[in-house]
Amino acid sequence: MTFFKSKVVLITGSGGGLGRYLAGAYLEAGAQVVLCDIHEEKLKAAEEGLSGKGPVFAQKVDVADEESVKGLFKATVNKFGRIDVVVNNAAIFDALAPVGKTDKVLWDRVISVNLTGNFVVSKEAVNQFLAQEPQGGNIVNIGSIAGTKGYFAGITYTASKHALRGMTMNIASYYGKKGIRCNLVQPGGMDTELYKELEGNMEAEGLILLGGNCPALKDGSIMVPLDKMSSLIMFLSSDSASSLNGQILNADNGMVSSA
């Protein structure tokens, strides 16, 4: 499969979890992949583990820091000449803290990564897409089923993921006619460190009881394998999905989004 032959794909938060798995899938599809993560050791391990699959470029970046992101894009263009796909995957969790237990330090940190980080990366991506020849590119934002309901996470994570819906549609509306597409995937549970952190805190905060409104929280039927999630993301960023722009796709086996 060479659907992405010679395409340059940048994936944030790709030191582990979905980001790292996705990087491997893009490489197998012929892409040149840019790995970036704030965790240097994880980033190095990912680069070493994936380098045998194809062209990989790794750089430490803090998506909440605009200068750090600008440096990432400059280095990527210097390395590969252009960028075709950006996957906004980097995110942190909020330990399921409800509004009454959330201090502003936690709020600011989660919003800075999950929302402001997404904005900063998208801004640089759009400007690069407009500047390069041929013009255009794809952004795939990774949201969460927490962006569809109010009971699946804490106040900060929930707010950040709901906000991604509006950001996605706004980018699509403004830049669709210029060859730039932006879509949002809202995954259910995945076998990643972030989801394990969620699982470990659910019962303590009473969300198992709230799950009475959604049995999928209890029986694990919201879980989606990483290979299926990667296939969906790659499809959205491929030429086969050229008619899809500003779309919100729930990927939870229909267990939460339809409840």
Q: Which residues are catalytic?
A: 161
Q: Which amino acid is at 179?
A: G
Which whole-number Å values give the CA distances from 240 to 19, 89, 162, in the listed order? Answer: 22, 22, 27
For residues 63 and 12, is the Cβ–Cβ distance under 8 A?
yes
Burial class (CB in 10 A: 0-12, 13-18, 19+), 232: middle
Contacts of residue 173, defined as CB under 8 A and 6 or more positions apart, other chains included, come to 246
- Which structure tokens are listed for 126? 């759009």
CA distance 237 to 192: 22
For residues 96 and 205, is the Cβ–Cβ distance under 8 A?
yes
- Which structure tokens are listed for 251? 């990927």
H-type helices in the chain, by residue range? 17-28, 40-50, 66-80, 104-111, 117-131, 155-175, 193-202, 207-210, 216-219, 226-236
- Which structure tokens are listed for 132? 């390069």
Which whole-number Å values give the CA distances from 238 to 35, 108, 136, 182, 212, in the listed order? Answer: 19, 34, 12, 12, 38
